[in-house]
Amino acid sequence: MKNGKIKNVKKEVLSDNWYTLNKYTYNYQKEDGSWEIHEREAYDRGNGAAILLYNKLKGTVILTRQFRMPTYVNGNETGMMIEVCAGLLDGDHPEECIRKEVEEETGYKVHDVKKVFECYMSPGSVTEILYFFIGAYEEKMKISEGGGAEDETENIEVLELSFQKALDMMNSGEIRDAKTIMLLQYAALHGTISSKQ
């Protein structure tokens, strides 16, 4: 459904280096019926998918650790972030994307994944929709060491943690990544995995 309070949208590309930064100028109708001009910038990096891998029997989850430059320049002294496995869709269906990312980043080959929700991650400035999944893993699914795609210079460390330890790290602030916090909370709220083991 179109928003009738928006008209005359004009787009100007400000940067097309890594992803795309656009400037939008448009007319917005206020509650009193008058119109005003708005200017907003929106960063388009594509849509993505994220997954919490869990082993119910062991009471564990698979997370990753890698360097994130934006956090480094904004107060994270090491720049290292603990996160769930995630990646950009790059034209793939979200389920196909996340299975591929799991294999590249963690070395596990999972088949059954369940989409649990989707959301805009930073709607004031970024266009991205992130599709959230959960998926069970077992040791027999491990086919490589993971670490990320060779050509993407990701240098990902794979972590297997107890679910309780992951929750503790979230509560202490050691885990500060939004998508990871959201999936850990989802798993806790829905009893996906016990935190008592």
pLDDT over 80 (residue 148):
no
pLDDT over 80 (residue 121):
yes
How high is the pLDDT of residue 21? Answer: 97
The 3-state DSSP class for residue 19 equals coil
Average pLDDT over residues 151-159: 78
Tell me how many degrees the CA angle 146-172-85 measures, rounded to the nearest 5: 20
pLDDT over 80 (residue 90):
yes
pLDDT over 90 (residue 92):
yes
**Residues paired with 129 in a beta bridge:** 120
How high is the pLDDT of residue 2? Answer: 84
Instruction: Quote the CA–CA distance of 179 and 122 in Å, as a whole number.
Output: 11
Query: pTM for this one?
Result: 0.92
How high is the pLDDT of residue 114? Answer: 97
Assigned token pair, 186: 């989802």
pLDDT over 80 (residue 178):
yes
List CB contacts of 169: < 8 A, sequence separation 6 or more.
82, 161, 175
How high is the pLDDT of residue 154? Answer: 65
Q: Give residue for tokens 């059954």.
A: 112
Average pLDDT over residues 91-106: 95
Average pLDDT over residues 148-154: 61
- Pick from 168, 152, 163: nearest CA to 188: 163
How high is the pLDDT of residue 153? Answer: 58
For the segment 8-28, what is each residue's pLDDT rounded down to a tens digit?
999 999 999 989 999 999 999
pLDDT over 90 (residue 168):
yes
